[in-house]
Amino acid sequence: MHDLIENGTLWTLKEVGTDSEQIRQNETLFSLSNGHIGTRGSLEERHRTQSYSHSGSTLMNGFYDTEPITYGEWAYGYATHHQTTIPIPDAKKMDLSLGDERFDLETGKVDHHSRTLDLKKGLLTRTFSWENSKQQSINVTIERFVSYDFPEILAQRITIESEADELPVQLTFELDELKDMGKEESAEDDPDPRKKEQAERRFDSRPLSTDSGRMIHISTHASDLHAVIYDHVVSQPELVSLERVENKVTASFQTDKSAPVVIDRFTAYSHKYSNEEDTGSHAENLKEIMSEVEMLGYDEVKDRHLSFMDDFWKVSDIKLEGDQALQIGLRFNLFHLHQAAGRDGHTNMSAKGLTGEGYEGHYFWDTEMYMFPFFLYTQPEIAKSLLMYRHSILPQARERARTMAIENGALFAWRTINGEEASPYYPAGTAQIHINADIAHAVYDYGKVSEDEAFMFNEGLDILVETARFWLEWGHFDDERNGAFVLNDVTGPDEYTAIVNNNFYTNLMAKKNLSYAIEYVQKALKQETDKLDELHVTEDELENWKQAESRMFLPYDEEKELTMQDDSFFHKKVWDFEHTPKDNYPLLLNYHPLTIYKHQVCKQADTVLAEFLFFDDFSMDQLIRDYDYYEKVTTHDSSLSRSVFGMMASQIDKHKKAYDYFMDTALMDISDLQSNTKDGVHAANMGGTWMSIVQGFAGMRFNDGTLYFTPHCPKEWSRLSFKVQVKDRLIQVSLTPSSTEYTLLEGEPITIVENGEQIQL
Amino acid sequence: MHDLIENGTLWTLKEVGTDSEQIRQNETLFSLSNGHIGTRGSLEERHRTQSYSHSGSTLMNGFYDTEPITYGEWAYGYATHHQTTIPIPDAKKMDLSLGDERFDLETGKVDHHSRTLDLKKGLLTRTFSWENSKQQSINVTIERFVSYDFPEILAQRITIESEADELPVQLTFELDELKDMGKEESAEDDPDPRKKEQAERRFDSRPLSTDSGRMIHISTHASDLHAVIYDHVVSQPELVSLERVENKVTASFQTDKSAPVVIDRFTAYSHKYSNEEDTGSHAENLKEIMSEVEMLGYDEVKDRHLSFMDDFWKVSDIKLEGDQALQIGLRFNLFHLHQAAGRDGHTNMSAKGLTGEGYEGHYFWDTEMYMFPFFLYTQPEIAKSLLMYRHSILPQARERARTMAIENGALFAWRTINGEEASPYYPAGTAQIHINADIAHAVYDYGKVSEDEAFMFNEGLDILVETARFWLEWGHFDDERNGAFVLNDVTGPDEYTAIVNNNFYTNLMAKKNLSYAIEYVQKALKQETDKLDELHVTEDELENWKQAESRMFLPYDEEKELTMQDDSFFHKKVWDFEHTPKDNYPLLLNYHPLTIYKHQVCKQADTVLAEFLFFDDFSMDQLIRDYDYYEKVTTHDSSLSRSVFGMMASQIDKHKKAYDYFMDTALMDISDLQSNTKDGVHAANMGGTWMSIVQGFAGMRFNDGTLYFTPHCPKEWSRLSFKVQVKDRLIQVSLTPSSTEYTLLEGEPITIVENGEQIQL
C-alpha cells in the first residue's frame, strides 16, 4: 500500500507528518489547476531552507516569456527563441504568528500534521496543531481549491481553533512576486534537456489601484504578455481586524475557544493578453468577478466547484474493483489530466500540465496522441477547444513550412506555446514531422465521434488540407521504388533513431492524413461550400493526394516478415543491452546521439504505436511478430512507451504483460517511476492510463462510425467500468474477467460490436 | 589581366594607389607568415575609420583561447569548448609625423602609393611620397618580412628620403595590445558558421624588464597559454634620437637630402607555452635571438631569409609558360601554402593558414587530404612534422573515442587545435569519422614516399593501429548483407548529405586504413619490435581487421551501374537546380539542413574524391559514369570541390572541364571567387592547385613504390614543369601539350611508368 493511500479510501491521497522529502515530492502530486491557472502543492509558510519545497510556483496556461536560443553553430531555419512558461506571483504564501512567534515546520512544535488531496472534490486540505514555546497552541486548517466554475479564482480558507481564549494570532498574506527568486539547480548542474529551471524572475509588476485587497499588473520581459492579479482577503470584521501595509494584509485576532476564526482568501488571475492598453478592462473584469465571488461567499463558490467536479466524475470516472491503490491511482491520473487541459481555444495541454516547469510548459504531440482520446470520449467540448488551439496557430505553421522550403501547406511546430517552433535540436524536433499527421488524426476522430460538421467543414478542413499539402511537398514519388511515395530525412516517435528515410509510423500516419483530407474535401465538394475555393483546392491537387495516399511506401521486410521501423533500422547493430549498466538509463543522458542512432534501440513505441492505432489493418500474426521484435529493443526511456506496449499486449493476448505494463503506467507519478515527478506529472502517460483501460483492456475502437470492443479484463480485478460519449450517446461499459455489460445511459439506440458480434443497445 | 599583376612580372603582386576597398581586400593576400607567426597585410598607420582594414591581426599558430560552447539543447558527448586562434599584439603599427602633422591616407596628400608582394623573396614592400600642408614632402619605403631562418622574428625596415634638408620627422612605434579592440561584425550580423569574428581581446599582458626595446608577457583568459613578445627598434644613433616613453618608442630626426634615414624594427614572438613559470627562460631565449639578430643586422637577417626562400622555390616551384597571370597565381598559392604549415610537430595547418581568423584557426582533414601531398613530395620534413602533430594529439583522440562509447582505438577530432573536438554541430563534425582514415592515409603515403621506417614503426604504427581499431567498433558485420562490414550513421566529405549509412568515401577509406594497419603490423611482426606488445595487438585483432577489410561494404547500384554515395543517396529527390536563384548559394546559408539533406545535392566532391584517390581500382567507364552523375548534383559550395573535379576530369579525358575547373581553383583567392577571401586564404584549395598540376594534369600517382604518370598538358599552355622528391630522388617533370620530359636531378637511378610504359631515369 502506497504511503499516500489509506485503507478504505477510494478518493483521497493523504500525507501524514512533516517529512521534508515527502512534502517536496508531493508538491507536484498535490498541484491544483483548472486548465487556466495551476498552483503547486507547496506549503504556505516561509522556511529558511529549500528543504520543504522544490518549486512552489503558480503557472498560467500559455503565459510564457521568450529568450533567444544560442547555438554553438547556427544554421538556416533553426528555431530562434525559447518559449518558457514562467512562474507568476504566487498567492499561497502567508505568515502565521502566535504571540511573537512565527510558525514554520523547521522550528515549530507541530502535531497531527496532514495534507489531504480529495480527488472527488478537487480540494487540498491541510491540518495541524501548533504549540509555541509558551505552551500556547492552536489548531489550523487550510483548504485550497482552484475553481472550475470561476476559472480565474484560486480560493483558500484558513480556520484557526484553540482550546484557549485570547491567544493573539496574526496572519500575514502576501502576493509573492518572486523578487528574490533564485534557481535551485543551474542548467550546468543538471543539463538534462528534458527540463529547464527558471533562472530568474521573468516579469515586471506594478500595483493597480483597488478599493480593497491588492491588485497588480504583470508583464513579461521579452514576450510582451500581460496579466492582472487581484488578491483579496475576507473575514468576519467583528472578530478580525484586517490591516493593509504596503503589499501585506495582516489579519489580527484573539482566539475564542467557543468558536473558530475563519479567514477566506480569493485570488483572481486574469487571462493573458498582449496589449497593455487592455489592462484597464481586465482589471475591471477581475473586480466584477471578485465582487460576485465575495457576494456569493466561500461556501457557495466552493459548492459550485464541487458540483462541477461531480459532473466531471459522472462521465469521466473509471471504477475499478479489486485493487484499492490502483483505483485511487487511476482517479489521480484522470484528475490531473482533467486539470491540465486549456479550455479557451487559445491554450493547450503542456507535457506537465500546470503542475511543473518541466519541458518549459511546451505543447507536444502528446496532446493529440495520448491525452486527446480521454477528452474526445468523455468531454468532447474540451477536445474541440484543444483542436481550436491548433487551428489558431495555423498561420505560424504555414510560416514554418515556408522556412522549410515547402511552398504549400503547413508544418506544425514540434514543441511550442505560441505556435512558433521552439525545439533547439531539430533531429528530435522539426524532423518529427509526424506531428502534422497526429493533429490531423485527432481532427478526424473528433469529427467522427462528435459529428460536429460545423467544425469539420471549417477549422477541421483547414487543418486537414494544409497538412495534406505538406506531405506532397516533403515527400516525392521514388523511381527507385517503382514510383512509391517516400518521406526522407524524418524522425519518428522513437527519438533514439533520428533522421531516417520512411519511418513506418510517419508514412502510415501521412497516408491516413491524406485519406482524411481526401474524404472531407470530397464531402465538401458535394456540399458546394465555398470553403474549397477559399483553400484553393483543385482537382489536380486532389488527384495528387490520391496518388500519394495509394502509393505511400510502407517499409516491410518480406524475409523476416517484420514491419521495418524505417528503411535502415534492421541494418543497425542491436544495442548491447546485456552489458549496459542500469545506471546508464535513460541512454540519452549517457551516450552521444550518434552512438544511440547507429544501434537498434528504441526510446519508445514507434511501429507498435502505429499498429495499435490502426489495429484492424494488420493480421494478428503480424502484430505479434512485430510486437515481439520491437519490445526486445525498446528501453521505455520515454514515459509515452509503456502504455502503448501494454495496450497492444492486451489486444494480442499477452495478458500478463498487459497487466504489468499497465501497473507501471498507472502509478508512474505516485511512485515516481521516472524519478522526475518533482518537475511535474507525466500528463501524456496519464492519458495513456485512460487509453489502457478503454482501448487496451476493453479494446474499444471506433471505425467508420461503429464502436468495437474486444474486452480482456485482467483476472487481478473483479470489476472495471467506465463511460464513453459517442455520437450523442452516453454508454457505460462494465467488464469482469468473465463478462461484459454495455448500458446505453443517454441517447438513441445504437449497435455496437463485441468480438465481431453485433449488440443492440 | 588581374589588377595585382603587371605585364612582364612573374613573381610579384603589385597594388597601386590608395583605394580603400582594394587595400582591405589585399590585407589577406599580402599576409606574411612562416608557420609560427603570421601577420596580415595591413597598413602601419592609424586611420580614423575601419575603411582601410578588415582585421590587421597578427596570429601565432596554435595560440588559442577557449570558451564554453552554449547549446540550445545539450546532449551527452557534445564538444564542450570553442577553441579560437586569437589576435596577439601586433608589431606593425607606427605613427609617422612630418612637423606637427600625422600621416594617414584619409587626410594626407599621397603620391605613388604602392605595395608589392615579392613571392620569390617573401617580402612585402610599401612605397609612397607624402606632402604635408606646408608643401614639405618625404618619400617613404617600408619593407616587411617574417623570417624563416629565425622563426620568431618579424622584421621591418623603414626608409625615409627627402629632397629637402632638415625636415623634422618623427616615427612612433607601438606594440598594439588591442586594448581598444572591437569586432567589426557581430555573430548576429553575420551568422555564417564558417567564420567567427573576435568579440574582444582574449589575453592579458604585462611588461617584462628589458635593457632595450619593449618586452611583454601575454596569457590567454581561459586556455592558459603564454607567450613572450619582444619589440626592438634599431637605427643609426648619430642621425636618429630614440626615445622610449611608456609603451612607445619614438624616433626623431631631420631629413638630409644627401642620404636616406633608415630605421629597423625587429619583433620576436616566442613559441607558446602552458606553464607561466617558463616565462623567464622564454624571455631569455628571445633576448639571445634578438642580440644575434641585432648583431647580424637587418641586411644579413634578410639575406638568410632570401636564401631560405631560394631553397624553397628550388624544389617547390611550378613553372608554367603561356599564361603569365596563372604562373603568378600558382606561385601565390605555393607561397601561402608554404607559409601556412606548422613546423614544430605541435602545430598544424589551419584552414586559413595564418592569414585570417576564419574557421577559428582550426585544423581539419584539409591538411591531410589537400595540403599534405604538396609537402610530402617537395618538403617531406614538413610533411612529417604535420603528422607528428597528429601523433601528439592521440591521447585526446583516444579520449574522444571513449566518449563515443568506443572502447578501443582513437577518433580524431573533426576540427581542433588542442586535439579536443571543437565542432558544435556533430552531423557535420564528429559524424565525419572519415578524418581517421584521412590521417592514416597520409601516414601511409608518407611512409612509402619517404621510406622513413623509424617514424613508421613508432608514431606511424600508433596512428595506424588506433585508427584501425576504431573502425572495428564503430561498424559491424551486417547479417542483412551477408555479413558485409558496414559503417552506419556517418557523414562523408559532402556536408549536404549527413548522418547516412555506408558513405562510399568513408567505407573505402576505412578499408584502406585497415589494410595499411595490417601491412605495417605484419611488417612489425617480422621485425620482432616490441611496439606491438606495447600496442597490445593480438593475432585475433589482426584477423578481425582482415575480415572487416575484405568484407567492407561498398555501395553500388548494379542497375544504374553507378557507385552510390551512400545507401540511400539515390532514394533522395534531386535538388531543383533549375529553380534555385543564384543568390541562394551557398545553400547552407539559405536552406534548413533537413531541406538540403533530403535532396540529392552535394556541397563538394565525395564519391569522386574517393575514386580519384584510388584511381587504379576503378574501370575508366565506371569513373566516367560516376563523374557525369555526381557532377550534375554538386554545387561546389565548398572550396574543396573544384580541384578534385578538375583533376578527375583531366584523367578521364574531359580536358576542357579540367582546364576550366583548374582556372577557378588556381585563382580562387586572387579573384575572391568565394567572396570571403577577407577572412583568410583557402589553404586547402591552394593545395588543390598543386595537386591539380601534379596529380591532375601530370597524372602522377605513387603505387607500391612506383611513380606513374598519365600526362595531359592543357593546350592553352606551352610548357609546365615541376619537381618531386620520392625515395630520396629529386625528379623534374616537364610537360608540353605534345611531349613530356622526366629528369633525375638527384639520387639513384629509378624506373617510372608513363601511360603503362616503363622509363628508366
DSSP A297: -
Question: Which tens digit of pLDDT belongs to each residue from B483-493?
Answer: 999 999 999 99
Nearest-by-Cβ selection for B592 from A71, A76, A481: A76
Question: Which tens digit of pLDDT belongs to each residue from A615-663?
Answer: 999 999 999 999 999 999 999 999 899 999 999 999 999 999 999 999 9
Q: What is the mean pLDDT of residues B9-29?
A: 94
Omega of the bond prior to A711 within 30 degrees of 0, cis?
A: no
How far apart (Å, rounded) are the C-alpha atoms in residues A662 and A643?
6
The answer to whether the beta carbons of residues A615 and A652 sit under 8 Å apart is no
Task: Count contacts between A and B (CB, < 8 Å).
Answer: 144
**Dihedral pair phi/psi, residue B429, rounded to 5°:** -135, -100
DSSP assignment string, B425-453: -GGGTTT-THHHHHHHHHHHHHHHHH--H
Q: Give the model's pLDDT for residue A46.
A: 87
Q: Give the model's pLDDT for residue B179.
A: 67
Give how far Cα B702 sits from Cα of A331, B448, B615, B640, B712, Å.
77, 9, 11, 22, 17
The answer to whether the beta carbons of residues A76 and B77 sit under 8 Å apart is no
- Tell me which residue of B604, B595, B59, B672 sits closest to A404, measured CA to CA: B595
Among the listed residues B152, B360, B421, B495, the single catalytic one is B495
Phi-psi region of A32 (alpha: psi -120 to 50; beta: other; left: phi over 0): beta
- Tell me which residue of A647, A571, A638 sits closest to A609, measured CA to CA: A647
Q: Give the model's pLDDT for residue B195.
A: 53
Question: Which tens digit of pLDDT belongs to each residue from B598-653?
Answer: 999 999 999 999 999 999 999 999 999 999 999 999 999 998 999 999 999 999 99
Instruction: Flag whether pLDDT at B580 surpasses 60.
Output: yes
Q: Give the model's pLDDT for residue B1.
A: 52
Question: Which tens digit of pLDDT belongs to each residue from B714-740?
Answer: 999 999 999 999 999 999 999 999 999
Q: Give the model's pLDDT for residue A672.
A: 82
The answer to whether the beta carbons of residues A399 and A77 sit under 8 Å apart is no
Which residue in A has a C-alpha nearest to residue B71's C-alpha? Answer: A71
Is B72 in contact with A74 (Cβ distance < 8 A)? no
Q: Give the model's pLDDT for residue B193.
A: 58
Please state whether beta strands B573-574 and B599-600 pair in parallel, antiparallel, or not at all (unpaired). parallel
Q: Give the model's pLDDT for residue B185.
A: 42
Question: Which tens digit of pLDDT belongs to each residue from B583-601?
Answer: 999 999 999 999 999 999 9
Nearest-by-Cβ selection for B480 from A73, A498, A570: A570
Strand, helix or coil at A49? coil
Is B590 in contact with A76 (Cβ distance < 8 A)? yes
Please state whether beta strands B123-131 and B241-245 pair in parallel, antiparallel, or not at all (unpaired). unpaired
- Partner A, chain B 522-581, Cβ-Cβ below 8 Å: 567-568, 570-573
The answer to whether the beta carbons of residues A635 and A603 sit under 8 Å apart is yes
The answer on whether B604 is annotated among ligand-binding residues is yes
Nearest-by-Cβ selection for B478 from A404, A499, A571: A571
Task: Look up A73 and say whether it is catalytic.
Answer: no
DSSP assignment string, B196-241: ----S--EEEEEE--SSSEEEEEEESSS--EEEEEEEEEE-TTT-E
- B430 in A contact zone (CB under 8 Å): yes
Nearest-by-Cβ selection for B431 from A69, A486, A594: A594
- A591 in B contact zone (CB under 8 Å): yes
Selected residue of B67, B69, B70, B76 to mutate for chain A interface (largest A Cβ count, 10 A): B76
Please list every residue in chain B whose beta carbon sits closer than 8 Å to the beta carbon of residue A478.
571
Please list every residue in chain B whose beta carbon sits closer than 8 Å to the beta carbon of residue A572.
488
**Residues B176/B177/B179/B182 CA torsion (nearest 10 deg):** 70
- B758 in A contact zone (CB under 8 Å): no
Q: What is the mean pLDDT of residues B66-72?
A: 95
Q: What is the mean pLDDT of residues B32-40?
A: 97
Please list every residue in chain B whose beta carbon sits closer than 8 Å to the beta carbon of residue A589.
76
List, for chain A, all residue ranges whose pLDDT scores fall below the cut of 70. 1, 179-199
Residue A245: CB atoms within 10 A of its CB come to 8
In the block, cell 644627401 appears at B258
Which residue in A has a C-alpha nearest to residue B499's C-alpha? Answer: A499
Percent with pLDDT over 70 in chain B: 97
- Partner B, chain A 455-514, Cβ-Cβ below 8 Å: 474, 476, 478, 480-481, 486, 488-489, 498-499, 501
Q: What is the mean pLDDT of residues B369-386?
A: 98
Q: Give the model's pLDDT for residue B187.
A: 40
Among the listed residues A174, A466, A495, A541, the single catalytic one is A495
Question: Which tens digit of pLDDT belongs to each residue from B387-440?
Answer: 999 999 999 999 999 999 999 999 999 999 999 999 999 999 999 999 999 999
Fold of B319-696: Glycosyltransferase (1.50.10)
In CATH terms, the superfamily for domain A12-316 is Glycoside hydrolase, family 65, N-terminal domain (2.70.98.40)
- Tell me which residue of B755, B709, B705 sits closest to B734, measured CA to CA: B709
Omega of the bond prior to A586 within 30 degrees of 0, cis?
A: yes
Nearest-by-Cβ selection for A568 from B426, B567, B590: B567
- Partner B, chain A 351-410, Cβ-Cβ below 8 Å: 403-405
Is A77 in contact with B593 (Cβ distance < 8 A)? yes
- B103 in A contact zone (CB under 8 Å): no
The answer to whether the beta carbons of residues B55 and B392 sit under 8 Å apart is no
In the block, cell 438513441 appears at A748
Domain regions of chain A by residue span = 12-316, 319-696
Residue B255: CB atoms within 10 A of its CB come to 23
CA dihedral sign, ordered A193, A198, A202, A205:
positive
- Partner A, chain B 80-99, Cβ-Cβ below 8 Å: 82
Q: Give the model's pLDDT for residue A186.
A: 41
Mean pLDDT of chain B: 94
Which residue in A has a C-alpha nearest to residue B480's C-alpha? Answer: A571
> Chain A closest CA to B635's CA: distance in Å?
18
Is B571 in contact with A481 (Cβ distance < 8 A)? yes
Mark the binding-site residues of A, compressed into ranges: 365-366, 603-604
- Partner A, chain B 258-317, Cβ-Cβ below 8 Å: none
